[in-house]
């Protein structure tokens, strides 16, 4: 098979570069991922490297799987043992293989971010820390941020008492995790980095092994991830100076699609990489193969509003295609109803549902859309919402499995010690926690020292876990899972619950998931080429399944084979493409998100996010917004997003009458008030409001506290006020329901 025949000139040049570090900087849909995958295949096919010497990093598990599928289609090789995955997945694999050197138990468990928050709350409580002064979420952010900067508690610079407390708690948290044998997400990376940093033999081993390192979506790597890559490339040197990196890094990325700065991603890695690796090969790809002209022009015009760009323009020879359709709805409910109509129409025209995506800025927006789709009987799948492995009943079942694997896992212990209820109360658990702390032991181990009725109940629980471990020792994974959900009493518990049917079904689905996992991972069938280090890297089916559940949550939730509409946040849509895309909720405060409006950086990141959204569409793009929307229990009156104004007239078509700009001041002040237009004759807008509030007045709201009225609209039941609540932002409120009082 000729791998190179479907590439344009620049793509061909990129795929066949000599083994030197290279940066492929290219816009959306220009074939970056295709180039990266083809390069791996080409290097193997031409004998320049073996499948074992490649390390390829992508951004999501979905993307990694896709890459392996494409590779197997191009070459007759087994991709299973290859090191292709996400940063977290690859670090997990390395830590499993060298857990002793990394100071971890072989059965270490991964805390997802909800588990981590739980562990932090527990820690604050055990140490009598005021969680109002030190909010658990802030501590969580502090810990993760420090880890992503490569800093342990002892390395963090302390500048005041408040900060000192955070640092102290960070240290206690790490000690707790070590005692319990658990790793949070950021820890996987930092621990792996430290392992390689400290252990010269291992470092040499992997540097020798991975002669080719390839990275997709490079613009969204954070500092620690970049440092980890440098370490593997052999560019060791803490201060960032690379002295003769041994292995080349082939990085592809797009600065215009950097959308994870809020999580520590550092676009500056691109220029650092160029400098530190003395990149000679900087290739730009500018032909877009994904979208028609109007869609591409809309994307180009929008992103041109950002000041800080490396600068590149995309073009296509696919023709103009259809213009971008813009729709204005009165409410979010109407927006969803319109969307359902359009989707039906697309399906009637013969398009499969999986080729249609509905994107939104925030997860909370999906509920209304889901409701409308459900009522219309259109199958859909939500990516990134409450995913299968995040549901309570599934987490309970997994906690039993985790405790069987690793009795020191206090998070798992606490989740299920009294679930289903066994009459073990909070006081008993406090006593147990004291005993555990006193003996520097896990909760599980401390049970032996408890006496009386509480001791008996706890003892029975431990006995249950012990007998489960003993009885399931040699069973296949799916039977272990089945035994656990039966013997733990979970199934019976939910069967007795009035609305527990779905949960019972989900638990059944967990057994299926375990069986599918064993099959997909090829346990039992000896995978070729897995001796020595590689064999040691393969965990037991149960350990593997538990990692999989933590790392790949959500990837398997679609009902097999069902054609479903794709719902997801814009963040989750990165790298994907669809025939038709709907971008909903284009309202100021929602998209761009209100948290971003005060800083230029924030606004530019929102614009890149919109750029990502637009460039997901191949042929048809819909953009919609609503005049009012119920979000978090509050009606919000939207002003249409500035991003709509940034799309060129020549590329768009308004499906609803476009309302002319009125008043508003500011560059993007083209907001209007259709709510009033719909509800009352125009003349009444100016009539005297009866509520008696006036602009400039101070008011108090039960939730947002004190604020100042900055604007008034409408009258009677429709009267609303815009209030600046300082830290809580500027909000539109309906006077009739907001219960404002004069302050
Ligand atoms: P993103 O920035 O969104 O991740 P990308 O640059 O990775 O996009 P790809 O996903 O690799 O782009 O490619 C976009 C689409 O264009 C894919 O459907 C791909 O198969 C197709 N494509 C890429 N190059 C070519 C080519 N030379 N000829 C035909 N189709 C191509
Ligand atoms: Mg891509």
Residue-wise pLDDT for 690-741, tens only, equals 677 877 778 888 878 888 787 777 777 777 888 877 667 777 788 877 788 8
Among candidate residues 115, 148, 174, 216, the one labeled active-site is 216
Residue with the two structure tokens 């590689």: 534
Question: Atom 30 of ligand 1 has which residue's CA nearest to it?
Answer: 289
Encoded tokens for 34: 């295709």
Instruction: Find, among 54, 112, 440, 110, the residue nearest to 249 by Cα.
Output: 54
pLDDT beneath 50, residues of the chain: 237-241, 525-536, 554-558, 660-689
Nearest CA to ligand 1 atom 21: 289
Looking at 115, 148, 187, 217, which residue is catalytic?
A: 217
Cβ neighbours for 412, distance < 8 A, ≥ 6 positions apart: 109, 398, 399, 400, 402, 403, 406
> Three-state DSSP class for 251?
strand
pTM of the model: 0.75
Out of 31, 214, 578, give the residue to mutate to test ligand 1, the one with the largest number of ligand atoms within 8 Å of its CB: 31
Distance of CA 103 from the midpoint of ligand 2 (Å): 36
- From the list 10, 11, 33, 615, the catalytic residue is 33
Asked about 216 being catalytic, the answer comes back as yes
**Distance separating alpha carbons of residues 613 and 501, to the nearest angstrom:** 37
234 φ, ψ (degrees, to nearest 5): 90, 10
Ligand 1: residues within 6 Å at CB? 6-8, 11, 26, 28-34, 254, 257, 289-290, 575, 577, 615
- Name the residue at shortest CA distance from atom 14 of ligand 1: 29
Contacts of 457 (CB under 8 A, 6+ apart): 422, 423, 424, 428
User: Which one of the ligands is nearest to 30 CA?
Assistant: 1
At 318-341, the pLDDT tens digits run 999 999 999 999 989 899 999 999
Among 109, 116, 140, 257, which one carries the catalytic annotation?
Answer: 257
Q: From CA 160, how far away is CA 535, in angstroms rounded? A: 49
Cα(144) to centroid of ligand 2, in Å?
A: 27
Per-residue confidence (pLDDT) for residue 235, from 0 to 100: 65
Rounded to whole angstroms, how far apart are CA atoms 394 and 115?
13
The structure tokens listed for 589 are: 């405060």
> Which residue in the list 616, 618, 629, 720 is annotated as catalytic?
616
- The CA distance from 167 to 654, in Å, is 54
* DSSP character at residue 689: P
Q: Name the closest ligand to CA 37.
A: 1
634 forms beta bridges with 631
- Distant-in-sequence contacts of 465-473, Cβ < 8 A, 24+ apart: 465/400, 465/403, 465/404, 465/407, 468/400, 468/404, 469/404, 472/404
Q: Single out the residue of 292, 294, 298 nearest to residue 318, CA to CA.
A: 292
Q: Ligand 2 centre from 268 Cα, in Å?
A: 19
CB atoms within 10 A of CB 563: 13
Q: What phi and psi, each to the nearest 5 degrees, are found at residue 199? A: -105, 100
Q: How far apart are CA 576 and CA 381, in angstroms?
A: 15
Point out which residues pair with 22 in neighbouring strands.
250, 281
Q: Is 257 a catalytic residue?
A: yes
User: Cα of 31 to ligand 1 centre, how many Å?
Assistant: 3
Alpha carbon nearest to ligand 1 atom 31, residue: 289
Q: Tell how far the Cα of 165 is from the centroid of ligand 2, in angstroms.
A: 42
pLDDT at 561: 60
Atom of ligand 1 nearest to the CA of 616: 3
Of 547, 520, 409, 403, give the one whose Cα is nearest residue 93: 547
Which ligand number lies closest to the CA of residue 14?
1
C-alpha distance from residue 312 to each of 21, 36, 315, 357 (Å): 21, 20, 10, 27
Query: Which protein residue has the closest C-alpha to ligand 1 atom 23?
Result: 31
Atom of ligand 1 nearest to the CA of 285: 6
Separation of CA 389 and ligand 2 centre (Å): 26
Q: Which is it for the CA torsion 512, 513, 516, 518, positive or negative?
A: negative
Neighbours of 58 (CB within 10 A): 24
Q: In 3-state terms, what secondary structure has residue 624?
A: strand
């Amino acid at each position: 098979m000729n791998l190179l025949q479907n590439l344009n000139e620049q793509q061909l040049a990129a795929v066949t570069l000599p083994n030197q570090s290279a940066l492929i900087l290219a816009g959306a849909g220009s074939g970056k991922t295709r180039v990266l995958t083809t390069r791996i295949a080409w290097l193997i096919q031409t004998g320049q490297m073996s499948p074992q010497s490649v390390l390829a990093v992508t951004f999501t598990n979905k993307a990694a799987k896709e890459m392996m599928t494409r590779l197997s289609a191009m070459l007759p090789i087994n991709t299973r043992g290859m090191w292709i995955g996400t940063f977290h997945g690859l670090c997990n694999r390395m830590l499993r293989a060298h857990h002793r050197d990394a100071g971890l138990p072989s059965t270490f468990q991964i805390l997802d971010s909800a588990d981590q928050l739980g562990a932090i709350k527990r820690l604050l409580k055990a140490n009598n820390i005021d969680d109002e002064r030190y909010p658990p979420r802030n501590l969580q952010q502090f810990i993760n941020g420090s880890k992503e900067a490569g800093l342990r508690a002892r390395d963090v610079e302390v500048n005041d008492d408040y900060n000192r407390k955070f640092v102290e708690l960070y240290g206690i948290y790490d000690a707790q995790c070590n005692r319990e044998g658990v790793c949070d997400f950021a820890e996987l990376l930092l621990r792996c980095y430290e392992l390689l940093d400290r252990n010269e033999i291992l470092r040499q081993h992997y540097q020798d092994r991975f002669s080719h390192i390839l990275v997709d979506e490079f613009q969204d790597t954070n500092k620690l991830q970049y440092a980890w890559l440098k370490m593997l490339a052999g560019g060791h040197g803490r201060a960032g100076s690379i002295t003769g990196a041994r292995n080349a890094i082939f990085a592809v990325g797009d600065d215009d699609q950097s959308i994870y700065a809020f999580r520590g991603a550092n676009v500056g890695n691109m220029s650092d990489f160029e400098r530190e690796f003395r990149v000679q090969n900087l290739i730009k790809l500018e032909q877009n193969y994904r979208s028609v002209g109007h869609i591409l022009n809309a994307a180009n015009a929008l992103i041109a509003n950002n000041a800080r760009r490396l600068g590149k323009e995309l073009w296509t020879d696919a023709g103009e295609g259809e213009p971008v359709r813009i729709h204005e709805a009165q409410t979010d409910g109407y927006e969803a109803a319109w969307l359902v109509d359009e989707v039906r129409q697309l399906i009637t025209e013969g398009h499969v549902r999986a080729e249609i995506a509905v994107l939104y800025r925030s997860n909370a927006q999906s509920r209304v859309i889901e409701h409308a789709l459900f009522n219309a009987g259109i199958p859909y799948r939500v990516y990134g919402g409450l995913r299968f492995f995040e549901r309570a009943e599934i987490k309970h079942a997994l906690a039993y499995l985790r405790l069987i694997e690793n009795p020191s896992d206090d998070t798992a212990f606490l989740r299920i010690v009294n679930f289903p209820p066994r009459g073990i109360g909070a006081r008993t658990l406090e006593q147990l926690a004291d005993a555990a702390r006193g003996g520097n032991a896990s909760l599980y181990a401390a049970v032996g020292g408890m006496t009386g009725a509480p001791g008996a109940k706890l003892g029975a629980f431990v006995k249950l876990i012990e007998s489960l471990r003993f009885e399931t020792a040699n069973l296949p994974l799916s039977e272990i899972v089945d035994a656990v959900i039966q013997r733990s009493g979970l199934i019976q518990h939910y069967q007795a619950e009035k609305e527990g049917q779905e949960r019972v079904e989900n638990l059944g689905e967990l057994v299926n998931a375990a069986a599918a996992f064993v099959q997909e991972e090829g346990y039992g069938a000896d995978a070729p080429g897995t001796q020595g280090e590689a064999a040691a890297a393969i965990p037991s089916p149960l350990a593997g399944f538990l990692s999989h559940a933590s790392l790949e949550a959500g990837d398997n939730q679609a009902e097999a084979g069902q054609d479903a509409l794709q719902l997801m946040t814009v963040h989750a849509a990165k790298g994907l493409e669809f025939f038709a895309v709907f971008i909903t909720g284009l309202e100021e405060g929602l998209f761009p998100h209100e948290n971003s409006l005060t800083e230029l950086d924030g606004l530019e990141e929102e614009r890149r996010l919109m750029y990502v959204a637009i460039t997901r569409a191949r042929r048809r793009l819909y953009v919609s917004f609503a005049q009012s929307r119920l979000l978090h229990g509050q009606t919000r009156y939207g002003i249409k997003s500035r991003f709509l104004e940034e799309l060129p007239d020549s590329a768009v078509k308004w499906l609803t009458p476009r309302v002319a700009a009125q008043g508003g001041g500011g560059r993007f002040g083209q907001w209007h008030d259709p709510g009033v237009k719909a509800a009352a004759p125009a003349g009444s807008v100016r009539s005297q409001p009866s509520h008696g509030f006036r602009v400039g007045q101070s008011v108090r709201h039960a939730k947002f506290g004190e604020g100042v009225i900055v604007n008034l609209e409408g009258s009677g039941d429709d009267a609303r006020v815009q209030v600046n609540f300082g830290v809580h932002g500027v909000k539109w409120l309906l006077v009739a329901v907001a219960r404002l009082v004069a302050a």
